[in-house]
Chains A and B, each alone.
Chain A
Amino acid sequence: MIKHFLSLEWKQFFRASYFQKGIAIKILLFFGAIYFGGAAIFLGIGVFFILKKAVPDVDPIIMFNNFLIYWFLFDLALRFFMQQLPVMNIKPLMTIPIKRNTVIHYLLGKTALSFFNFLPLFIFLPFSIVLLVHGYPVLNVLTWLISIMVLTLSINFINFLINKNNTFFYIILGVLAVFIGLEIYQVFKISEPLGVAFNALYNQPYLVVIPVLLMYGLYRKNFSDIKHGFYLDGTISKKAEKVSNIDLTWMNRFGSIAVFLKNDVRLILRNARPKQVLMMSFLFLFYGLIFYTQETYQKMPAFLAFASMFVTGGFLMTFGQLVPSWDSEYYKLLMSQNIPYKKYLESKWYLMVVAVGISFILSTPYLYFGWKIFGMITAGALFNIGLNSFITLFGGALNRVPIELNVKAKAFSNTNGFNPTQMLIALPKLGLPMLLFYIPYKLVNFEVGLIVLALSGVLGIVFRNFFLSKIESLYQKGKYKTIAAFSEKN
């Protein structure tokens, strides 16, 4: 029976739309995979030496174990965000003579092959090899590695148990934040008691049974949950959501674009995929922390300009690059309705402007780093509103990948908007603010650099209509291709 399932999966995998992509994307994806895989392996190898150097008087394995809990919490949060529940196309299998248990075992077993379960292997395996090379006892290292992998699988199954409820996600994030905070301010180190536990796993090889039992328990729990709900209206079916009713009539003041704006707000609030993008773009706000806190970048203001643009541009770039695709599910309606294209585009532009505005307000804590940094963020925000928005919309027009709105993007199959044209379009997005700032900065001074960057955005706002009509004509030209591409179901 399993053989049949496997062949179905095989077909599903290789006939999926992301495999039908151009050779260029395949190559890019391949290099991407090599890069991230390589980076993880190097991290796995390097972490031993880093720890040894940083804390010479503690055994690296003990240090490593102390902080392992953070890895697992992070892993769980990431999975919650990215990993879809394993809903095989269950309906056709319900009526054919296969034992229910077989289907469920298969369904759960399949999740063990998830990308997320292999990710840790890239880090922990090289680390273990380094340990072995350094003469750590083979039995301890191996059982430790097995424990870690089994715990990873346990996380996998925990995720399926809690994934149904968003509050868990916020609890995990909250717990993570509190623990990190307590750790940093040395109030209470959660890493210590849990570190003891993980170290015990290393020191006492027979303790490997604990993670194994834990995983078995979680597997049984998942199994019985699915078995109870193995009906069309049970766990496996998707639930009809409750309607969230928000009064958006106040948006009518935006005049002729209000109708689109209201729709876009509902689009974002009521669909899984755009919600995901919204949360991602929130993370962009913290981008500045990476750059502003590092001494090295203080002498490279061009990079600071780049980072400052990112702080307010998260939503603009992540949402904007998929602009016609968000409406792909009902694109035919839009194309045959009484809709002026320009108004449609304008409303998307306003949405991005509002997002930049909100991000800008949220970025005020960066004042802590001084007026210079905040000036950069301000200039970056203006650049985002005036130029970046149009570049992004322009890039979106070249993107014809349909999006399933209410389905979370899967890790690494999310190649929507990932194509050579998008890559080319990304270059000016990233390079332009650096150049606009850097050239006048070199020629005159810092302030002039800021002014030029800010002015470029203002110019973009002034010539808004020109840009919008240009993009509009691009949309018009691609109309039939876009309709055809969007009506293909993935």
Chain B
Amino acid sequence: MITTSNLSKKYNDNVVLNIESLEIPKGQSFGLVGNNGAGKTTYFSLLLDLIQPTTGYIKNNDIHVHESEDWKPFTSSFIDESFLIGYLTAEEYFYFIGELRNQNKADVDALVSQFEDFFHGEILNQKKYLRDLSKGNQKKAGIVGALIGNPEVIILDEPFANLDPTTQIRLKQIIKDLAESKGVTVLISSHDLMHVTDVCERIVVLEKGEIVKDLETNAATLKELETHFAN
């Protein structure tokens, strides 16, 4: 689904990302871990064509993301709060995204209603603008916003940060479902090794912009990651 080839990003002479080759097949739940500055967000930004690569390219479903915009209809993402529109209520935000993705109000309502558990009664019918919600609740709204419109690729940058424990557990279930039963390719990054090993079939470790580990998740993965980061 997503092919990365010879991709690098330099700021002045500072290489922040350098990936020779990375292939993410359709329906995989893919996890990206690494310390601050490892290049996780840079990779996602390149994938969304928010920054320009210095060399190489990313193909999303055989579309060069840097050359065509045709990847947009089937790709959605929540990277940070700049993906929220602060002066809308959560409902208005969902309808806005829905309209952009050719979903009518009923479609959006149907989808959103599946996440009532996840929202824990703090998102819908709140009569509050998104900018006045707490960080965690903003994140909930943003993540569900990224699920609207049956995307085939979903990119979430640190989805577990700022969420309360109950919501973290529910989110793990949501992500697993997406990949397993709906064939959606899910890319997430996280600092929480436990969550990421729980959720992802495959985990790639970035360090200073390079891939240093590419693991298929199994019972020993968490231990391996912990030893890696302990050093």
Contacts and interface: CB of A to CB of B under 8 A. Distances in A.
B132 A241 contact: yes
Interface stretch (A1-9, A212-220, A263-271, A345-353): A263-271
Contacts of A487: 82
Contacts of A267: 87
Contacts of B48: 332, 335-336
Interface string A469-490: 0000000000010011001000
Contacts of A263: 85, 88, 96
Contact of A331 (B51, B82, B88, B149): B82
A267 B88 CA distance: 8
Interface centre among B80, B84, B92, B129 (most CB of A within 10 A): B129
B131 interface: yes
Given A338-B72, A338-B100, A339-B100, A333 B84 contact: yes
B89 A259 contact: no
Contact of A405 (B82, B86, B149): B86
A337 B85 contact: no
A343 B37 CA distance: 37
Interface centre among A332, A336, A338 (most CB of B within 10 A): A336
Interface residue range, chain A: 20 to 34
Interface in B132-151: 132, 149
Interface string A327-368: 001111101111100000000000000000000000000000
Judged by DSSP, the binding face of A is helix
Interface residue range, chain B: 20 to 34
A351 to B, nearest CB: 16
A205 B113 CA distance: 73
A401 to B, nearest CB: 16
Contact of A240 (B75, B79, B101, B128): B128
A198 B127 CA distance: 50
B77 A336 contact: yes
Nearest to B75: A336
B97 interface: yes
A240 B133 CA distance: 9
B82 A242 contact: no
Given A263-B85, A336-B48, A270 B129 contact: yes
Contacts of B129: 240-241, 243, 270
Nearest to A242: B127
Interface string B68-110: 0000110111011011111111001000110111100000000
A101 interface: no
B49 interface: yes
A332 B82 contact: yes
A241 B130 CA distance: 11
Would you list the 6 A-B pairs with minimal beta carbon distance, nearest first?
Answer: A240-B132, A259-B99, A270-B87, A333-B83, A336-B48, A243-B127
Given A336-B83, A337-B72, A338-B102, 11 more contacts: A243-B129, A263-B88, A267-B87, A330-B83, A331-B82, A333-B84, A336-B76, A337-B101, A338-B73, A480-B51, A480-B52
Interface of A: 240-243, 245, 258-259, 262-263, 266-267, 270-271, 329-333, 335-339, 405-406, 480, 483-484, 487
20 contacts: A241-B129, A241-B132, A243-B89, A266-B87, A270-B87, A270-B129, A329-B85, A330-B82, A332-B48, A332-B80, A333-B85, A335-B48, A335-B49, A336-B48, A336-B49, A336-B72, A336-B75, A337-B100, A480-B52, A484-B51
